[in-house]
Structure 1
Amino acid sequence: MVARMSAEPETERKVSFGFEEVTESEKVARVKGVFRSVASRYDLMNDLMSAGVHRLWKHDAMNRVNPQPGERHLDVAGGTGELARAFLELADKAGKRRGIDKPATAIVSDINDAMLEAGKARADNAKWEGRLDWVCADGQNLPWADNSFDVVTVSFGIRNFADRVAGLKEFRRVLKPGGRLAVLEFSHMTAPALQAAYDTYSFNVIPQLGSLVAGDKESYQYLVESIRKFPDQETFRAEIEEAGFSNVSVTNFSGGIAALHFGWAV
Structure 2
Amino acid sequence: MQWVFIGAGNMASSLIGGLINSGAEPSGIAVVDPDQASCERASERFGIRSASSLGDMLKQFSTAPLGLVIAVKPHIVEAVCVEYASVFADFDSSTQQLMSPLIISVAAGVRASSMETWLPEGSAIVRCMPNTPSLLGLGATGLYANAATSDKHREQAQSLMDSAGVALWVDAEAKLDAVTAVSGSGPAYFFYLIEHMCAAGTALGLDAETAEKLAIETAFGAASMARTRELPPSRLRENVTSKGGTTAAALQVFDQEGTPAIIHKAMQAAHDRAVEFGDQLAPD
Shorter-chain TM-score range: 0.3 to 0.5
TM-score normalised according to structure 1 size = 0.36
Based on CA coordinates, which of the two structures has the bigger radius of gyration? 2
The higher relative CO (CA closer than 8 Å, separation ≥ 6) is in 1
TM-score normalised according to structure 2 size = 0.34
Structure with more of its chain in strand, by fraction: 1
Structure with more of its chain in helix, by fraction: 2
